[in-house]
Amino acid sequence: GNSVTQMEGPVTLSEEAFLTINCTYTATGYPSLFWYVQYPGEGLQLLLKATKADDKGSNKGFEATYRKETTSFHLEKGSVQVSDSAVYFCALSETSGGSNYKLTFGKGTLLTVNP
């Protein structure tokens, strides 16, 4: 079956530090890959996505590249801000014909950015 493994948290950084949150996956087909973010008191929001190998998703200064050879989709940001403090979830969905597109999530990584 499908699974997602992401870096255990919590992660605590100072403002303007470089962020990496590792994510690897196992899938039987050709998944799309996602990063979702959950800010305190809010619902899950799609941060970025990549639908095929070597695609790079990007949004709000965050980036992640779909690496089929290493089955990875690591999240990076060059300079984090206090407002980036949230829980980050890596996820995948199968996108082959007839797929239900349900999402399989990792456990989440809590990021805290201090001023």
Residues 23/7, Cβ–Cβ less than 8 Å: yes
Pick the closer one to other proteins by CB: 40 or 115: 40
**105 contacts other proteins (rule: CB under 8 A):** yes
Cα dihedral sign, 47-95-1-23: negative
CA angle 56, 60, 65 (to 5 degrees): 15
**Type and span of the H or E element at 112:** strand 109-114
3-state helix, strand, coil in the chain (%, to 5): 5, 55, 45
Site track 64-103 with other proteins (rule: CB under 8 A), x = hit: -------------------------x-x-x-x----xxxx
The contact pattern for other proteins, residues 29-68, with x = CB under 8 A and - = no contact, is: ---x---x-----xxxxx--x-x-----------------
Measured from the CB atom, is 17 or 72 closer to other proteins? 72
Q: Which of helix, strand or coil describes residue 83?
A: helix
1 contacts other proteins (rule: CB under 8 A): no
Query: Which residues make up the interface to other proteins (CB under 8 A)?
Result: 4, 32, 36, 42-46, 49, 51, 89, 91, 93, 95, 100-108
